[in-house]
Structure formats: structure tokens, C-alpha cells
Amino acid sequence: MSKTIFWFTTGIIFYTYFGYPLVMIFLSKFRYKPVKKEEFTPRVSLIVAAYNEEMQIEQKIINCLSIDYPKEIIEIILASDGSTDSTISIIKKYKDKGIKLVDSKERVGKTQIQNEAIKVSSGEILFFSDVSTIHPPDVIKKITRNFVDKTVGCVTGKVIFWSNEKNLITKGAELRLKYEIYLREKQSGFHSLFGATGCIYAIRKELFEPLREDLVSDFVEPLKILEKGYRTVYEAEALAIINREIDFKKEFTRRIRVIQQGLFGLFYMRHLLNPFRFGLLSFSLFSHRLLRWLMPFFLIGVFLSNYLLIGNKLYLFLFIAQSGFYLSGIIGMVLTTQDRNLKLLYPIVYFCMINIAAAVGFYRYLRGIKEIYWETLR
């Protein structure tokens, strides 16, 4: 029995991190579905949700105003989720520049404040961004050209993190981002993505559905669009640049929140996991999301079953290798919280950190703890 558990869980781990990407590479070569792209300038509503962003909101407004898109067909909507600092007064200074303000006096959460902003929007395309994100001038033109293709319902862009400090967590986050971008390119090429990046994505307004306040919009909204038969595609030339200091505590907290919210969203849209109805979408959602979020339990299964088999030399060697791997991760996490870094450990440290975060996120999901509000981590 122990051998069965060991090899089954080992197989799941290798499939999730290596087998699934190989399947994506294969499908992208033999089932490639290019997106028709042409210059296209529909009316666009640029929506930015904010909470207590007095330090960065003016920079964001100036960046929005600098976007190279016909002024008569773009509107910029800043939606404040109960801000208590000077965010509102800063936004009001730009009223004569055409900036629209949606001001909630109480905190309602990011998803709900986005719902409120969309009620006053007039664009055919809804473009979502974050306060911490800076875009090049051509970002909307790069996004909208994909909507010429009538099969496309949602477009997401490429995130670039910029940090002045390079530590184990920063390097791990960069490595993970490269891996995710590669997978997105392959998924988008043969079928569709099943989620978007919250700081840079756009949807057709006609496809938008208001969501419950406890659901994260950049995951659930693209799934609803897929359910309607439209694609979510990746536009590598549409950029979102984020200057953010990444440390262990902030990244650990963020990963917990992302996984916890993702599990609530996946349960809400669980019918998409039916392979008989949704085929490749179901397969990708199961392989790339659910298995990833359950990964801590497969890792525990491998470790414990391996411990029960250490009477055999092969399994003893594998157990020692596993123990050394996790010990290195623990040492690296301790050192990075003390501002000390062992550069060679960063892939191990980040791997251990995100899987501990996944376990915590899953625990919080089972307890029904919902993350409706967000705090500024900058």
C-alpha cells in the first residue's frame, strides 16, 4: 500500500509540474488557433479600484492620462472602496481632465466596487488595472486589437515586476512568473486561458456579469466568459509594470489570499470541471489550478509513504533526498526573514513557501474564511 501511495503521489507531482506543460506544448503545435488581430478602436472604459492609495494614486492618474488612445472614446473611472486618507481629494483634482470618480463611503471589497464602476461605464470594452501598475502608452491598442476576433471575450497582458531589492523571494517570484507566462502562451495558442491577471485584463462589456462580493473577478469573470463559448487570450505585448518590494511575509500573505480566493471561485464554477461538457477547459482547469492548489497534500503523501519504505536502499536514498530538500527550504526561509540570502536556495525556498501558503489557503477555505477586502501592501 505504501508503495502505491508513494508512486501515485509522485506521478501526480511530476505530471502537474512537467507532464501538463508538455501536453500544452504538444497541443499548441498541433491545435494552434491564432487570434485574428487588427487595429481596432472601440470605446474603452479604464477602471481602477483603489483603497487608501494616497501615495500612488496621482502617479496612476498621470499614467492613465498618458495612454495613447483617442480621448473621445476612452473614459477613466477611479473607484474608491471607502478610502479614509486623501485618495478622494487627489482624484477630484483631475475632474476637469475627464476622470470619473465612484466613491463608496463604506468598504464593499474590490469585486463590488468594480461592479459599481461598471454601472456608470459607457465603453464597449472594460479594461481593468491596479493603482500599483504602470502601463506603456500603447497598452490599450495592444489589448483591443485582439477583440477584432469575434471568438475572443477576454484579453490579459504580461506582468513585469520591478524590484530594487533582489532576495530569495524576489528571485523565486520571477522564476515562477516566467514559468506561468510560458504556460499562458501555450494555453492561449491552442484554446484559451481560464483566468486573467487582475492588473491588466479587458472584457467585452456585453459579456460582463456582476459577481458576489466574495468572488475574485479576474478568475471568475473569465470563467463565465468561457462558459459562454468565448476565449480568453494572452497578449504578450500589452505590459503591466509593477514596482513592488517583495519580501517573505508579503509574498506569503499574497499567495495564501490568491489560493483561498481561487478555491472559492473554483467551487462556485465547479460545473466547469465536468470533462464531458467542457473538454479541454475542464482538463486545463483541473491540471493547472486544482492539482496545484492540492499539491501540499501530494507532497505530504510522498514524504510519509517514503518514510514507511526506508528499509529499502532506494527508498532510503529518496527519503534522505527529500529531507535534505525541505531542510534547505526551511533554512532558506529563516535566513531570508533575517535579510540573509543563500542565492542557490531560491527555487527551493519559493517552492516550499508557496506550498505552505497553499496548505494555509486550503485550511482557510475549509473554514469558510472569505477575503472580501484588501489592504495596500506597498
In a domain, 152, yes or no: yes
**CB-side exposure of 96: number of CA atoms within 13 Å?**
1
The reported pLDDT for the residue numbered 305 is: 95
CA gap 226, 233 in Å, rounded:
11
| 369 Rama class: left (phi>0) / alpha (psi -120 to 50) / beta | beta
In a domain, 172, yes or no: yes
The reported pLDDT for the residue numbered 27 is: 82
Cβ atoms of 319 and 40 closer than 8 Å = no
Q: What is the CA radius of gyration of the chain?
A: 22
The reported pLDDT for the residue numbered 350 is: 86
CA 301 remoteness from chain centre: 27
Average pLDDT per 10 consecutive residues for the chain, totaling 378 residues = 92 94 83 86 96 94 96 96 93 91 92 95 96 95 96 93 69 79 77 86 96 92 93 93 78 90 94 90 90 95 94 92 92 70 76 93 91 64
In a domain, 255, yes or no: no
In a domain, 219, yes or no: yes
CB-based burial of residue 70 (10 Å sphere; 0-12 exposed, 13-18 middle, 19+ buried)?
Answer: exposed
CA gap 190, 31 in Å, rounded:
5
CA dihedral (208, 214, 217, 223) positive or negative: negative
C-alpha pair distances (Å), 7 with each of 14, 95, 144, 241, 326 = 10, 62, 47, 42, 19
The reported pLDDT for the residue numbered 303 is: 95
What's the structural domain count of the chain?
1
Nearest to 359 by CA among 289, 288, 292: 292
In a domain, 126, yes or no: yes
The reported pLDDT for the residue numbered 337 is: 61
Structural domain range at position 169: 44-244
Question: Which residues, other chains included, contact 118 with Cβ-Cβ below 8 Å and sequence gap of 6+?
Answer: 45, 47, 126, 205, 208, 210
In a domain, 256, yes or no: no
Task: Read off the CATH number of the domain in which 50 is found.
Answer: 3.90.550.10
In a domain, 204, yes or no: yes
CA gap 350, 164 in Å, rounded:
19
Length of the chain equals: 378
